[in-house]
Amino acid sequence: MGVKITEPVVYFNLTSGISTRNYRNVVESLDLENVSASYVSSLSAEFDVTVKYFLERYP
């Protein structure tokens, strides 16, 4: 599987409040590729920018 499958899983986990430490358990339980903490952190940072933009645009 590739990034196209992994990214939505990471974004779902972010919005569900699953901690970065627990991502590996969730991703492995779905038989997806191993996801590093740095990859999750980078997606989280991108997601934060998107959410901030949305919140500022639609207060």
Domain boundaries, the chain: 3-57
pLDDT, tens only, 24-54: 777 777 777 667 778 778 888 888 898 899 8
Q: Is the pLDDT of residue 2 over 50?
A: no
Alpha helices in the chain (DSSP H): 3-16, 20-29, 37-57
Alpha-carbon separation of residue 5 from 21, 55, 56, 57 (angstroms): 19, 26, 29, 29
pLDDT, tens only, 7-28: 787 788 888 888 777 777 777 7
